[in-house]
A = this chain, B = another copy of it.
């Protein structure tokens, strides 16, 4: 059961243990996601060189792989990092940004998923569909498909890789093959800020660093994202996507148990 209490337990553990989250991610969202991890209470580090990523995993509590701005050297480093995470038992979150848009992204997924099955795969409906090799085509990084349509794709990914899948959207679906959770938190301004999907993925990683259940980690992260987004949007300081982004980081940093208890909408 996901409750305000259980999520608060994870947030408290993050703030206490300050897990190091190692991201190999896209250039666009690096700054956002580092700031979100700091605001939550975790510690971010970015490293992408083939001759560095394995060393970094020796001290990391979780790994994030995000294919938003790919190139061959980065794919090779991602593979090494994923393999090292697998042997070290470090949880891995995979964000298939723009999957389906290009052959490079699709091929990267085909190579990387088998190298070390992701603990959590988080993407929008189009990306989850593409990641599952469905016939879906992705249009950039915005989702053009409903979350419901991606549920079948998610189930195939779960069967093949044993991953927990999070399909983000107006409602976030988190599935592990046994349980399906729906998180209703969030705000319509969130897709108007670049890198908030990527931010959701790094929060999943921070939660996975302190909670051994990927389902609970992903659900807690998505609820925390959504509630921080609601708090930001409702604040008197929010007047559009610029000030929303600022207020989102403030809300994440100032988040209390009372906020969670008052706003959590999960089923």
Nearest-Cβ distance from residue A47 to partner chain B, whole angstroms: 7
A44 proximity list for chain B (CB < 8 A): 28, 140-141, 194
**A141-B45, A241-B250, A246-B242 given; A104·B29 CB < 8 A:** no
**Could you say which residues of chain B place their CB within 8 Å of the CB of A68?**
46
In the complex, per-residue mask of A230-267: 1 if CB is within 8 Å of any chain B CB, else 0? 00000001011111011111111110000000000000
Q: Does A98 contact B (CB under 8 A)?
A: yes
Residues of B within 8 A of A59 (CB): 101, 137, 139-140
Min CB–CB distance A65 → chain B (angstroms): 16
A170 CB-CB contact with B under 8 Å: no
A70 and B45 contact, Cβ closer than 8 Å, known pairs A31-B194, A242-B245: no
Chain A residues at the B interface, C-beta cutoff of 8 Å = 18, 20, 26-32, 34-35, 38-39, 43-49, 51-52, 55-56, 59, 68-73, 98, 101-105, 137, 139-142, 191-195, 237, 239-243, 245-254
